């Protein structure tokens, strides 16, 4: 077993509360009649989850900084009055004394500088999955001097076996550096089970984890990659950093984020990678950019020194890097 530091205990409970709240919002606001253009449940869930995590951080570690995805400026505008009221109503389920000004202040605390010791949060990772009733996650990580020290994922639609279970108890994953990756129940945390990556060494049998959302990747070149390696297994498609949970549990072997032809200059946000990357590494896996460099979390809110992402069970990583070079998927280094 492992020892939970005070920071890890905070991260587990804050992520758990936020993920349960997001799940309630999904159940109550995302209905069959919801049109694809109506993203209001995403707005409510994003802001409410960020507010409750920052409120908890303010109590537990008042001097710590938070770097999160959302800002409160739009929420304070006159046209967002109804949205702010709804966000506040949900936040009160966790913070009963919250008012609208406090909610906005908590959200705004997520706009701190990403340097030294700070937390980074994606309050709702996988918005398309959320709206579709599929996979999404709350992702929280502690970064100190450019190194992820704690990573937590709250995945309401995964079970303890890290399989899809929409009405199950959910999965809560944690990794502390050099202490392994572990999973427990999201709704009723009990004992923790250690996670290990797959030991599959035949890349032709690799299961490739892919997103439904293709906006930040190159779906066509991923197909070329799979054909080049002779990968036979059907890909597993799901949204969010829940993919890292599956990799860490041995449910897949490879994950790619190639550069989209429409967004060749895109760089990953730190909150999209920090928590999942540590969980995968602590389960025995490996993560790098497309050129094989470690992800560099010391450059602020964006991974400016990295282009794309390759995650694996570790065993297949070098073969996958070689294949990316062979098919021309590795971006040229900038001068």
Q: What are the structure tokens assigned to 53, written together?
A: 């995590």
Task: Give me the catalytic one of 46, 125, 239, 272.
Answer: 46
253: three-class secondary structure by DSSP: coil
184 is catalytic: no
The reply to whether 218 belongs to the active site is no
Structure tokens, 246: 């599956």
Could you tell me the CA-to-CA distances from 306 to 39, 99, 259, 333 in Å, in that order?
30, 40, 11, 10
Closest-CA residue to 157 (of 169, 146, 142): 169
d(CA 182, CA 196): 9
CA-CA distance, 47 to 159, in Å (whole number)? 25
Distance CA 196, CA 280 (A): 9
Helix then strand count (H, E) for the chain reads 9, 12
* Residue 57 · residue 3 · CB < 8 Å: no
Q: How many CB atoms lie within 10 A of CB 256?
A: 24
The catalytic residue among 15, 127, 184, 217 is: 127
User: Helices (DSSP H) in the chain: which residue ranges?
Assistant: 6-29, 40-60, 81-91, 100-108, 127-132, 219-229, 242-248, 274-282, 317-326
Catalytically annotated residues: 46, 127
């Amino acid at each position: 077993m492992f020892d939970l530091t005070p920071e890890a205990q905070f991260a587990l409970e804050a992520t758990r509360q936020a993920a349960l709240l997001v799940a309630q919002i999904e159940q109550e606001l995302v209905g069959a009649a919801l049109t694809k253009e109506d993203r209001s449940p995403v707005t409510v869930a994003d802001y409410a989850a960020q507010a409750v995590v920052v409120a908890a951080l303010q109590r537990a570690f008042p001097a710590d900084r938070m770097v999160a995805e959302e800002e409160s400026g739009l929420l304070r505008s006159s046209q967002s009055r109804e949205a702010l009221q709804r966000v506040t109503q949900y936040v009160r389920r966790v913070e009963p004394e919250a008012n609208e000004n406090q909610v906005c202040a908590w959200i705004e605390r997520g706009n701190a500088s990403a340097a030294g010791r700070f937390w980074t949060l994606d309050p709702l990772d996988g918005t398309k999955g959320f709206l579709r009733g599929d996979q999404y996650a709350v992702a929280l990580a502690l970064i100190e001097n450019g190194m992820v020290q704690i990573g937590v994922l709250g995945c309401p639609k995964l079970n303890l076996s890290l399989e899809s279970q929409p009405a199950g108890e959910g999965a809560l994953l944690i990794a502390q550096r050099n202490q392994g990756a572990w999973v427990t129940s999201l709704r009723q945390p009990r004992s923790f089970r250690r996670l290990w990556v797959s030991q599959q060494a035949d890349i032709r049998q690799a299961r490739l984890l892919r997103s439904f959302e293709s906006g930040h990747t190159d779906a066509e070149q991923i197909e070329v990659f799979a054909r080049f390696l002779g990968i036979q297994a059907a890909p597993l498609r799901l949204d969010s950093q829940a993919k890292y949970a599956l990799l860490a549990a041995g449910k897949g072997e490879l994950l790619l984020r190639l550069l989209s032809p429409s967004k060749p200059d895109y760089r990953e946000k730190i909150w999209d990678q920090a928590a999942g990357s540590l969980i995968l590494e602590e389960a025995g896996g490996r993560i790098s950019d497309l050129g094989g460099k470690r992800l560099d979390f010391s450059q602020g809110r964006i991974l400016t020194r990295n282009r794309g992402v390759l995650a694996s069970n570790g065993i297949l990583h070098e073969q996958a890097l070689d294949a990316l070079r062979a098919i021309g998927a590795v971006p040229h280094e900038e001068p």
